[in-house]
C-alpha cells in the first residue's frame, strides 16, 4: 500500500467515524486494540503512521495501513501518569489547593510563548535527527490535558535552539512577556525554551522583569515532543498547573524532579542550573530547595520560601518594572591549572566592560594573574568572583590569596551561580552608568540570586 493509499484510507476512516484530532478514540488494528487521544500530524512526521496519546501519557505511532476501525469515545479520556504511591515531600508544605477540574468552566488564562528548543522539536524521519518544527499552537494542541487547566493562547516568539540564544533574544522575550502581562488578560505566562541555556534566560527575565503580578514559568524538554519517552508533556502540564494555582509571582523553571514521570519541580529563575546532558531531572536548584513541587495536580511549596524575596500575585500591572536591555561585552572566564592570564588582557583589548572569574574553591586564582587583574581594575573593568564549585559561597577573607584579590579590587558575589552572575552583570551594565551603582546593584540581592542560608536538596 502506498503513502497516498494510506492517506485515502485515513481520510475515509475519519469521515465515516466522525473523529478529529484531539478526540478520545479506540483504534482497532490487525494486531491489537489501542485506547487514546488522536494527536495532530506534523509536517515532518512519518507519513505512514498516525500518532495516538495513550492513557499513561506516552505517544505511539500506528501504521495507517493496519488500521481496521476508529471509534470515537463519547466520554473524555483523561490521560494519567503512573505516580505510584503517594509521595511525601521533605521540607515542603501543602500550601496550595489541588488543581480544580476545569472541564466545564475555565477561569484561568495563560499565554504560551514558544522560543524553540527540544520541547518545540520533533524527529525528522528523513535524517533520523531532531529538528525544530513545532509551533506553540502545535505544542498546545498535542497535549489535550492542558484544556482542563486553563485557556491557553499560544504564540511563536523565536524558533531557535538554545545554543543560538543571545542577550538580544532575552530582550525580545522579556518585552513580549511584559506586553502579555500588561494586557491584563493572563494569569501567567509560559515560555517554552531549549534546556541548554534555559537557566541563563530565566536569570535574564528575573532581572529584566521585576515586581511581576503573575508567575512567568520557563519550561523545556530533554526529549522531543513526539518521542515515546518525551518529558515535554508532563513538564508543560506542571508549568501550567503552577502558573494557574500558585499564589506567588516571579520567574521560575519547571522540569522533572526525578527521572520518573511523577513530580515536576518549579525552580527559582536565578537559583537553577542544568547539571546533566540528557536525564529528565537534569535541572537542580543550587543552595536552595525547589520553590515548589507539582504532583498529582497538587502544589507543594517549599518551607524555605519565607526566607526568600517573593511576593504574592497582585493586580498592579502598572507597578511592574521592565528593564529588558543587556550589555554583550561581559565575559565568564573559568580559572584552571595552566590558565593563560592573557585571556584577561584579551577582554580588555576587545572592549569588555566586566569579567566574571569562576575561581577555585572559595574564589581563588593563581598569583600569576594578579598583574592582569590589577590592570583591568585600573582601566575601569569590573572584575567579579564566583566559584566553580556548584554549591557553597565565595569567601575571599579566609586565605591570603583571597585577601590579595580583594585588595586588587575583585568583587565577590557570595553564592550567586556563575551563569546568573554573568547575566546580572550584562543587565547591570546596560541599565546603570555610574560605577557605584553597578557595584551596589551587583552586590544587592534583587531576585534571590544569592541567599543567606544554604540548603542542599
Q: Point out the residues that are catalytic.
A: 118, 195-196, 274
**Cα 116–Cα 284–Cα 143 angle in degrees, nearest 5:** 40
CA-derived radius of gyration, the chain: 24
Nearest CA among 421, 358, 351 for reference residue 381:
351
452 Cβ neighbours under 8 A, 6+ residues apart:
307
User: How far apart are alpha carbons 358 and 329 in whole angstroms?
Assistant: 17
Nearest CA among 247, 297, 237, 287 for reference residue 267:
287
Burial (CB < 10 A; 0-12, 13-18, 19+), residue 388, is: middle
Residue for cell digits 507539582? Answer: 294
Coil, strand or helix: which one is 192?
Answer: strand
Cell of 320: 511592574
Q: Is 238:301 a contact under the CB 8 Å cutoff?
A: no
Q: How far is CA 188 from CA 236, 253, 305, in A?
A: 13, 13, 19
Phi, psi (degrees; rounded to nearest 5) at 379: -90, 10
Q: Is 26:38 a contact under the CB 8 Å cutoff?
A: no
CB contact burial 133-159 (16+ within 10 A = b; e otherwise): bbebbbbbbbbbbbbbbbebbbebbbb
**DSSP label at residue 261:** T
Cell of 425: 552583570
Q: What is the DSSP string of 139-177?
A: HHHT-GGGGGT-EEEEEE-----GGG--HHHHHHHHHHH
Amino acid at each position: 500500500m502506498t503513502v497516498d493509499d494510506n492517506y485515502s484510507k485515513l481520510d475515509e476512516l475519519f469521515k465515516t467515524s466522525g473523529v478529529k484530532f484531539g478526540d478520545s478514540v479506540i483504534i482497532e488494528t490487525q494486531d491489537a486494540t489501542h485506547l487514546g487521544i488522536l494527536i495532530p500530524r506534523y509536517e515532518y512526521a512519518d507519513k505512514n503512521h498516525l500518532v495516538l496519546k495513550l492513557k499513561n501519557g506516552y505517544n505511539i505511532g500506528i501504521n495507517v495501513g493496519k488500521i481496521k476501525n476508529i471509534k470515537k469515545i463519547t466520554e473524555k479520556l483523561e490521560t494519567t501518569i503512573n505516580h505510584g504511591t503517594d509521595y511525601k515531600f521533605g521540607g515542603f508544605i501543602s500550601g496550595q489547593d489541588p488543581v480544580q477540574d476545569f472541564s466545564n468552566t475555565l477561569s484561568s488564562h495563560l499565554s504560551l510563548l514558544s522560543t524553540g528548543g527540544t520541547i518545540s522539536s520533533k524527529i525528522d524521519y528523513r535524517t533520523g535527527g531532531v529538528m525544530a518544527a513545532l509551533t506553540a499552537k502545535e505544542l498546545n494542541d498535542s497535549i489535550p490535558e492542558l484544556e482542563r487547566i486553563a485557556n491557553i493562547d499560544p504564540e511563536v516568539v523565536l524558533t531557535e535552539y538554545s545554543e543560538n540564544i543571545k542577550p538580544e533574544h532575552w530582550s525580545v522575550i522579556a518585552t513580549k512577556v511584559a506586553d502579555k502581562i500588561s494586557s491584563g488578560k493572563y494569569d501567567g505566562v509560559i515560555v517554552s525554551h531549549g534546556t541548554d541555556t534555559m537557566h541563563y534566560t530565566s536569570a535574564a527575565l528575573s532581572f529584566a522583569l521585576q515586581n511581576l503580578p503573575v508567575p512567568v514559568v520557563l519550561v523545556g524538554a530533554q526529549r522531543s515532543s513526539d518521542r515515546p519517552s518525551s518529558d515535554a508533556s508532563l513538564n508543560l502540564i506542571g508549568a501550567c498547573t503552577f502558573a494557574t494555582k500558585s499564589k506567588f509571582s516571579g520567574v521560575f523553571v519547571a522540569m522533572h524532579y526525578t527521572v520518573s514521570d511523577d513530580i515536576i519541580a518549579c525552580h527559582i529563575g536565578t537559583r537553577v542550573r542544568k547539571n546533566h546532558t540528557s536525564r529528565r531531572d537534569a535541572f537542580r536548584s543550587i543552595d536552595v530547595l525547589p520553590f515548589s513541587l507539582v504532583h498529582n495536580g497538587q502544589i507543594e511549596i517549599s518551607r524555605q520560601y519565607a526566607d526568600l524575596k517573593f511576593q504574592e500575585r497582585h493586580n498592579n500591572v502598572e507597578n511592574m518594572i521592565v528593564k529588558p536591555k543587556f550589555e554583550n561585552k561581559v565575559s565568564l572566564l573559568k580559572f584552571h591549572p595552566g590558565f593563560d592570564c592573557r585571556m584577561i588582557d584579551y577582554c580588555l583589548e576587545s572592549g569588555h566592560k566586566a569579567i566574571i572569574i569562576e575561581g577555585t574553591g572559595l574564589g581563588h586564582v593563581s598569583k600569576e594573574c594578579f598583574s592582569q587583574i590589577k590592570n583591568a581594575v585600573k582601566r575601569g573593568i569590573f572584575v567579579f568572583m564566583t566559584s566553580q564549585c556548584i554549591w557553597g559561597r565565595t569567601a575571599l577573607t579566609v586565605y591570603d590569596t583571597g585577601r590579595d584579590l580583594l585588595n586588587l579590587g575583585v568583587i565577590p558575589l557570595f553564592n550567586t551561580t556563575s551563569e546568573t552572575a554573568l547575566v546580572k552583570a550584562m543587565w547591570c551594565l546596560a541599565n546603570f552608568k555610574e560605577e557605584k551603582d553597578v557595584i551596589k546593584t551587583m552586590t544587592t540581592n534583587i531576585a534571590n540570586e544569592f541567599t543567606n542560608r544554604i540548603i542542599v536538596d
